[in-house]
């Protein structure tokens, strides 16, 4: 569909997103009622702290975007501009179509990067973000002795991934083709590892590590808010939810993996009570969605004020 018809896109996207949001709120209410019926209670201050930490962790990820995009050739006028382009696109990833956010960046900020640079940068960001998510979740599960066989398998596979990518990149360096499409693919595949293994890529990795440490603290606080044995359960649930997030991430049709992530989480965390799983899966999705919306609105509004 042409970008000139974006009002139709936006209306349909807004309606589907609004419907998804209402559905999440209703599910959250059902989960809360079930918890209350079981005679359990929630620690509201701990719940609020958990969300604040989640917002902080989400904000720190803007450094991943800023550094990786610069390594891919982007020319931001300021860090604020990078945040606006990042978080507005983050909001749009909750809309139908995984690539809607990238399309926004390509159209809105041609002066910052060309189409190839936006695509390469976003692929690199996805790879680094997924890599960090899998490493952190598997380490937490191993440390707390939960789903250890699965966690070890994921950790070993994830840690070996950079070497595999680097090796394939070296092999493709000796390959050329007269086919323009194949040649473009090779150039993109070269550009992605180059961005990831650059000095700015290593800086993005450091910021990503800090972000995930804060994110782990958010899940620990979330565990304190729930009627569970200890905050350790919050970390375990966070690790399992992250694995479910990775599965849902590759669902390109549903808004932000809607439904896929919840099913995967229910299967991975089946040892916990169903009312807890319902509340956690919905509260986590809603909380992270709100974090993206809040940061997106803040930077979009302040960006317009800067222009004025």
26 assigned to some structural domain? no
Lowest mean pLDDT among 6-15, 192-201, 268-277, 285-294: 6-15
145 assigned to some structural domain? yes
35 assigned to some structural domain? no
Rounded-to-integer distance, Cα 47 and Cα 222, Å: 6
Find the domain containing 70 and state its range.
62-307
Looking at mean pLDDT, say which of 3-7, 81-85, 214-218 comes out highest. Answer: 214-218
258 assigned to some structural domain? yes
DSSP string, 170-233: HHHTT---S-HHHHHHHHHHHHHHHHHTSHHHHHHHHHHHHHHHHHHHHHHHHHHHTTSS-HHH
pLDDT for 46: 93
94 assigned to some structural domain? yes
49 assigned to some structural domain? no
133 assigned to some structural domain? yes
**Position 95 confidence tier, pLDDT thresholds 50, 70, 90:** low
pLDDT for 161: 87
Question: pTM of the predicted model, to two decimals?
Answer: 0.82
pLDDT for residue 11 is more than 70: no
Residues, the chain: 308
pLDDT for 35: 58
**Position 16 confidence tier, pLDDT thresholds 50, 70, 90:** low
Q: Which pLDDT tens digit goes with each residue over 118-145?
A: 989 999 999 999 999 999 999 999 999 8
User: Considering its fold, how many domains does the chain have in total?
Assistant: 1
**Position 219 confidence tier, pLDDT thresholds 50, 70, 90:** very high
Looking at residues 208-227, what average pLDDT do you find? 94
Q: Which pLDDT tens digit goes with each residue over 62-94?
A: 999 999 999 999 999 899 999 989 988 887 776
Lowest mean pLDDT among 170-174, 274-278, 283-287, 303-307: 303-307
DSSP character for 255? G
Which residues are CB-neighbours of 142 under 8 A, at least 6 positions away?
Answer: 148, 151, 152, 155
Task: Check if the beta carbon of residue 270 is closer than 8 Å to that of residue 51.
Answer: no
What is the average pLDDT score of the chain?
A: 81
Rounded-to-integer distance, Cα 66 and Cα 250, Å: 23
């Amino acid at each position: 569909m042409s970008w000139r018809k974006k009002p139709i896109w936006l209306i349909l996207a807004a309606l589907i997103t609004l419907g998804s949001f209402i559905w999440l709120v209703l599910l959250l209410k059902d989960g809360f009622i079930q918890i209350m019926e079981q005679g359990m209670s929630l620690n509201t201050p701990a719940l609020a702290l958990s969300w604040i930490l989640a917002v902080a962790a989400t904000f720190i990820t803007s450094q991943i975007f800023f550094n990786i995009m610069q390594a891919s050739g982007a020319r931001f006028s300021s860090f604020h501009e990078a945040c606006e382009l990042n978080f507005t696109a983050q909001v749009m990833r909750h809309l139908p179509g995984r690539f809607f956010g990238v399309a926004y960046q390509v159209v809105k900020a041609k002066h910052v990067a060309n189409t190839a640079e936006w695509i390469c940068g976003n692929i690199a960001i996805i790879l680094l973000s997924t890599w960090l998510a899998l490493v952190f979740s598997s380490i937490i599960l191993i440390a707390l002795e939960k789903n250890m066989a699965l966690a070890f398998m994921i950790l070993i596979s994830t840690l070996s991934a950079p070497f595999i990518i680097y090796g394939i990149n070296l092999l493709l360096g000796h390959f050329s083709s007269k086919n323009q499409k194949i040649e473009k693919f090779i150039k993109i595949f070269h550009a992605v590892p180059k961005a990831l293994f650059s000095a700015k890529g290593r800086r993005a990795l450091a910021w990503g590590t800090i972000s995930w440490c804060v994110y782990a603290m958010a899940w620990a606080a979330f565990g304190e808010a729930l009627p569970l044995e200890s905050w350790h359960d919050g970390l375990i649930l966070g690790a399992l939810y992250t694995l479910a997030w990775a599965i849902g991430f590759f669902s390109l049709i549903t808004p932000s993996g809607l439904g896929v992530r919840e099913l995967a989480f229910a299967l991975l965390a089946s040892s916990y009570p169903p009312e807890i799983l319902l509340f956690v899966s919905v509260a986590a999705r809603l909380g992270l969605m709100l974090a993206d919306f809040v940061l997106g609105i803040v930077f979009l509004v302040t960006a317009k004020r800067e222009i004025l």
